[in-house]
Structure 1
C-alpha cells in the first residue's frame, strides 16, 4: 500500500498489481509494432527510457519485452538492443497480436485471410469426415444442427450451436493440426465486433441452409461435395457480413 495526501490528510491508496501494469505496457508496445509506428528493423527505446515513458520499473519492462519475444514481435540483439522483427516472424495466432491486427486493419484484409484459411482447412476436414466417419460422429454433428434449427429466434443460442457444429466437424475429422489452427482462427475472429459486421435480414435462414447442405454431404459420404459445401458456406457467410473497407460497424 502507498500513502497519498488529500486535503492535508494522509490516506492509503492500493497499489496496482504488477501483472496488470505489465499487461498494459505489453499491450501498448504491441500496438506500436502492429500499427507500424515502430517498423521492422527499428530498435525499442533503451530500457530506462521505457521505464520513464510508462512510469514502471525495469522488472515490468523486462517482462514485457520477454513476452514480446515469445510472440515473435522482437528479438534482443546482444549489445545492440531490442529490434522489431518482420511481420512474417510474428505469432499472428497469439490473442493479443491477433486482436491488435484486426482492430487496426482498416481494409479488413486480416479477416479476409482468416476466412480463406478457415474455408480451406474446414473444407478439408469436412471432406475427411464424409470419407470416413463413425455413427457417433454423425449423431454429434446432427445434434448441433438440430439445435440450430430450434434456435433461429435466439441469435446468441443459434451462434453457439453454429460454433459447436463446426467444432464437432473438426473433432470428427481427427485432424488435430488443422483443427487446432481452424479452431483458433474461428474463436478469436468471433471475439471481434468487426467479424460480426453487417447483419443481413436473411442471415439465419441462409446460414442454416448452408449447414444443412454440409451435413447432407457428410452423411451421404460425398467427400468432394462436403468440402465444397463447407468452403462455400464459410466464404459466403463472410461476404454477407463483411463491412465496407474502413468501416467499424453499420447501423441496423
Structure 2
C-alpha cells in the first residue's frame, strides 16, 4: 500500500478534527503557520492541503479574516460527508446507495463480462473462503471489496468505479465491523457465490436480483448483529 503524501496527511488530520467537533461550523481553522508547526511540514504543503478541502467545500476562505468551516450540508465530496454523518445512519445509507448502483452494475456486467472477469471473481470468492477459515477479517474484507470492484469494471461503465473509489475507505470500515461476525461472513460468501453464478449465466435480470438479495442480506445482518 502506498504511503500517503504529506498533503493528504495534513488534509486528513484537519478533516478529522472538524468531524470530531474540534472546529464547528463557522469556526476558523488554524493558520498555515500553526498547521505547518503541528505536522512539521512547509507552509506550501499546508496550503495545498487547504486547497483540497476548499475544493470539497469543507472550508472556505474569507479574504482578510481566515479559513472557516462550512456547514456539512454544503460539502460536495462523498467521503467527508460520510465521515461527518457517521454512525448507523451513514452505514444504512451506504447500503441504500450500493443497492441502487451495484444492482444495475451487476445487470450490465452479466452481458459484458468476459472470462478474465469471471476468473477474477472466482479467485476473490476463494480468497473470502480462505480468509474466513483462517479468521483473517482484514483479508476477508479486501477480497470482498475486490469482488465488487471486478463487477463495477465488468459493467463497462467507466463512471461506476470512479464513483465508488470515493467510498472505498468508508466501505472498508463498515465491512470490517460486520465481517467480525462469523455468521455474517457465511452469509456474504453465500450471496457472493449466488451473484457469481448469475453473472456466469449471462442473465441480466438474475444478476440484478442476486445483487439486490446480497444488499438486502447485508442490511439485515448490519441491523441485527452490529447496530
Aligning the two structures, in what range does the TM-score lie when normalised by the shorter sequence? Answer: 0.7 to 0.9
Question: Which one of the candidate residues 168, 175, 190 is aligned to 2:150?
Answer: 168
Partner of 1:15: none
- Tell me whether 215-224 or 235-244 shows the greater mean CA deviation: 235-244
SS in 1 for 2:60: strand
Q: Structure 1 pair 172/61, CA: closer, same or farther in 2 (3 Å)? A: closer
Q: How many residues align?
A: 217
TM-fit CA distance, 1:126: 0.6
Give the secondary-structure state (helix, strand or coil) at the position aligned to 2:113: coil
Alignment deviations for residues 103-155 of structure 1 (CA, whole Å, 9 cap, x no partner): xx3x4222222222122221111110113333333333233334444554124
Match of 1:200 among 181, 189, 192: 181
More divergent stretch after superposition (231-240 vs 215-224): 231-240
Q: Give runs of aligned pairs for residues 116-131 of structure 1, distance below 5 A.
A: 116-131=96-111
Q: Could you state the TM-score of these two structures normalised by the residue count of structure 2?
A: 0.73
- How many angstroms apart in 2 are the aligned matches of 1:200 and 1:138? 27
> What displacement does 1:73 show?
0.8
Gaps of 5+ in 2: none
1:137 matches 2:120: no
Q: Does 1:224 align with 2:205?
A: yes
Q: Would you tell me which structure has more helix in proportion to its own residues? A: 2
The alpha-carbon deviation at position 22 of structure 1 amounts to 9.5
Do the aligned partners of residues 175 and 189 (structure 1) sit closer, same or farther apart at CA in structure 2, a change above 3 Å counting?
same
Q: Which runs of 5+ in 1 are unaligned?
A: 1-18, 245-252
| TM-score, L = length of structure 1 | 0.67
Larger Rg: 1
Task: Name 1:11's counterpart in structure 2.
Answer: none
d(CA) in 2 for partners of 1:190, 1:234: 13
Correspondence for 2:28 among 39, 44, 49? 44
- Within 1, Cα distance between the matches of 2:30 and 2:120? 55
Task: Pick closer, same or farther for the CA change 1:167–1:82 going to 2, 3 Å.
Answer: same
Contact 1:71 1:90 survives alignment (8 Å): yes
Equivalent residue, structure 1, for 2:220: 239
Cα offset, 1:200, TM superposition: 3.5
Please state whether the residue corresponding to 2:200 is helix, strand or coil. Answer: helix
Task: Answer whether contact 2:23 2:29 (CA < 8 A) is retained.
Answer: no
RMSD of aligned Cα (Å): 3.7
Q: Secondary structure at the match of 1:75?
A: strand
Q: Deviations over 1:21-69 (max 9, x none)?
A: 9946x555424432455444x1516849957x96989937655533431
Write the distance in 1 (CA, Å) between the matches of 2:203 and 2:7.
54
Deviation per CA, 1:176-205: give whole Å up to 9, x if none. Answer: 2112222442x312443x543354342232
